Structure 1
Amino acid sequence: MLSAWSLVRALRKAHAYRGAKPVDEGLRGYRAYEPPLRPRAFLDLTMWDVVYRVCPTRRDLWLRRREGVQLEPSDAMRRGAAIHRAFHETSRAVARAILSGVDPWDAYEAGARLCSRMCREDPYVRRVCRGFSFLWSSIALELGSPVAVTEMVVDGSPLGMSRYLRVDALFEGSVVVELKYGGFRRDYAVAVAGYAMALESFLEIPIDFGLVITVNGDGSSVRVYPIYIDDALRQEFIELRDEAIDTLLSDVEPPRPPSCPPTCPFRRACLGA
């Protein structure tokens, strides 16, 4: 089961890289006023717009932002939304209980009761929910307080991003946490870099580390991936952001790809089905 020690152990692995690969100060978010961070246009981009592209030609971005097409959520997207809700709600429930004076394990029970009420019809989400309750309680037990801030809103506008970017969690004030349903993908690490740079601009402090937490298909496995937010991830985020800006500023509609991804939430609108 995921615990505070799991997060700390993962972060130790990421720390090993910092000495060998220090971050270029020119790629920190608080340098957003100068190239390469300064955007060519300020388009209020979301992380989905920039990093989580579905279509290889960026046609999904065009349909959503230029044509106003609404996505059709897949079963996986709905399951992911339910997991995020459990993640945030248990964090708040455990924090409220601890701040009211109860010990961490009684706070865990408060979170578990919330899970039973919130997820009656979905045993999968209920199981994951109880795991999150254990995580928040163990953090409080090990570190003395509920130190993770969940669903933090960050102003990403200096980087050309939305003024309302939502970071899944901020651990110990400087570790970006990204929660995902399914297996690990590199673009999750790139998103962590984007959130870190937005936080650097917002807080004016360096952010070097992140964690990607993945929940598998049946809820039996929760894994933690440590991320050192190095120059390569930062540069990749900047390139993807600039590519998204160029797509939206262009008057040329992106073509359909040779093979349309079956999971694309814009498939029906794109193919005219």
Structure 2
Amino acid sequence: MYFLSDDERKQLLKGLLPKTRQTEVADELRGWNWHQPPIEPVYPVRLALHEVAGRYCPTGRDVYLRHVQGLKAEATVAMIQGALFHAVVGSVLLAAKRIIYIHGVERYRDILKELTSISESDEFGDEVRSQLSRLPADQRDQVTAKARTLRDFEVTRIAARIQDILVRQPHIGTDSLASLAIPVVVEQKIDGSFMGLSSQLSVDAYTALELMILDTKFAQKRDFHRLTTTGYAMVSEAVNEYPVNIGCIVYARFVGDRLTVEKDFHIIDDELRQWFLEERDQKSRSVYEELDPGLADDCPGFCSYRPHCHPS
């Protein structure tokens, strides 16, 4: 899902990248200026990035209940499915890299054969099986079928990329093949403490070829989803002192037995950066000063904290 099609790459190179050169980001909003306002953390609170960026609770009361009241909500079915599908994608990408390095370019037929065997297998890795076991029994077969669809899609894309690269680059080495065929780092660990965030952050995917932060959602579109890529971009700038201007939300949905993928490319501009900082400061203040932000007027029915806010 993280690989760009020819049309998407053209959109990125000819459309979005030129716009980033015209859209100048204020230097004070670059992550490397974490030591001074407005980025400098106001409160000694370390929140997870998803707590800052997730506005599923309109008032942010979920963060208050978790950190101040010490309430732990049970994961919803949607949350478990999302974690499971993320695990499927990550496991396929890691397995494919491992297979390339084990066999090397000279045994490319063995690479393709072993990739095919992944699709033909009825088994999943430990993490995927663990997530499946958390689901209600009557939903496991349906979710397993979706996981297979997702896995097969990723395997097919990787195999096609390997063959395309080998055709065009007859003298390519093993390491180069792996980096070109799978040019993403999944679950990139990064320290967010410079930004007043957790030191144990994990980026869904980072691609060095396009210098872009990617985040995957197995849910409907929300405007605040772009806060996730914005936060990770600013943290990356704080750690690496290199500008990150583009984010991409990958929306994956299942329609019957088919997988559909839509990518939301966006410039990480001043407006998104300011919005992220406002969310961070508001939620950090709520936790530090133990201020209950109150109930939301439109409390979503799927919120895992709803039973605490609206006990029956």
Q: TM-score, normalised by structure 2?
A: 0.79
Alignment of 1:251-262 (within 5 A): 251-262=290-301
Task: Determine if contact 1:42/1:157 at 8 Å carries over to the other structure.
Answer: no
SS at match of 1:221: strand
* 1:130 equivalent in structure 2: 152
* 2:137 equivalent in structure 1: none
One-letter amino acid of the structure 2 residue matched with residue 28 of structure 1: R
Task: Determine if contact 1:10/1:224 at 8 Å carries over to the other structure.
Answer: no
One-letter amino acid of the structure 1 residue matched with residue 5 of structure 2: W
Residues 5 and 68 of structure 1: CA distance in aligned 2, closer, same or farther (over 3 Å):
same
Residues 105 and 40 of structure 1: CA distance in aligned 2, closer, same or farther (over 3 Å):
same
Task: Determine if contact 1:183/1:215 at 8 Å carries over to the other structure.
Answer: no
Distance (Å, rounded) in 2 between the aligned partners of 1:105 and 1:265: 43
Stretches of structure 2 that go unaligned for 5 or more consecutive residues are 129-139, 166-175
SS at match of 1:169: strand
1:109 aligns with 2:121: no
Identify the match of residue 204 of structure 2 among 155, 168, 181: 168
Residue-pair matches, total = 272
1:264 aligns with 2:297: no
* 2:268 equivalent in structure 1: 229
Stretches of structure 1 that go unaligned for 5 or more consecutive residues are none
Residues 14 and 105 of structure 1: CA distance in aligned 2, closer, same or farther (over 3 Å):
farther
Identify the match of residue 241 of structure 2 among 182, 189, 204: 204
Task: Determine if contact 2:82/2:217 at 8 Å carries over to the other structure.
Answer: yes
Task: Determine if contact 1:3/1:138 at 8 Å carries over to the other structure.
Answer: no
* 1:155 equivalent in structure 2: 191
One-letter amino acid of the structure 2 residue matched with residue 154 of structure 1: I
Distance (Å, rounded) in 1 between the aligned partners of 2:158 and 2:45: 36
Q: Deviations over 1:20-57 (max 9, x none)?
A: 21222221111101111101023221122101132222
Residues 85 and 28 of structure 1: CA distance in aligned 2, closer, same or farther (over 3 Å):
same
* 1:8 equivalent in structure 2: 9
Residues 250 and 139 of structure 1: CA distance in aligned 2, closer, same or farther (over 3 Å):
farther
Task: Determine if contact 2:64/2:290 at 8 Å carries over to the other structure.
Answer: no
One-letter amino acid of the structure 1 residue matched with residue 123 of structure 2: R
Identify the match of residue 38 of structure 1 among 37, 40, 60: 40
Deviation at 1:5, TM superposition (A): 2.4
Task: Determine if contact 1:211/1:224 at 8 Å carries over to the other structure.
Answer: yes
Greater C-alpha Rg: 2
1:190 aligns with 2:227: yes
Residues 15 and 76 of structure 1: CA distance in aligned 2, closer, same or farther (over 3 Å):
same
Distance (Å, rounded) in 1 between the aligned partners of 2:118 and 2:204: 18
Alignment of 1:57-68 (within 5 A): 57-68=59-70
SS at match of 2:263: strand
Task: Determine if contact 2:2/2:184 at 8 Å carries over to the other structure.
Answer: no
Task: Determine if contact 1:29/1:199 at 8 Å carries over to the other structure.
Answer: yes
Deviation at 1:113, TM superposition (A): 4.6
One-letter amino acid of the structure 1 residue matched with residue 93 of structure 2: S
Deviation at 1:105, TM superposition (A): 3.9
Residues 107 and 149 of structure 1: CA distance in aligned 2, closer, same or farther (over 3 Å):
farther
Identify the match of residue 282 of structure 2 among 237, 243, 261: 243
Residues 189 and 200 of structure 1: CA distance in aligned 2, closer, same or farther (over 3 Å):
same
1:18 aligns with 2:20: yes
Distance (Å, rounded) in 1 between the aligned partners of 2:36 and 2:161: 39
Q: TM-score, normalised by structure 1?
A: 0.90
Deviation at 1:66, TM superposition (A): 0.9
Distance (Å, rounded) in 1 between the aligned partners of 2:159 and 2:244: 25
Deviation at 1:10, TM superposition (A): 4.8
Deviation at 1:16, TM superposition (A): 3.3
Task: Determine if contact 2:221/2:251 at 8 Å carries over to the other structure.
Answer: yes
Q: Deviations over 1:176-217 (max 9, x none)?
A: 110110232221211101001111111221111222111114
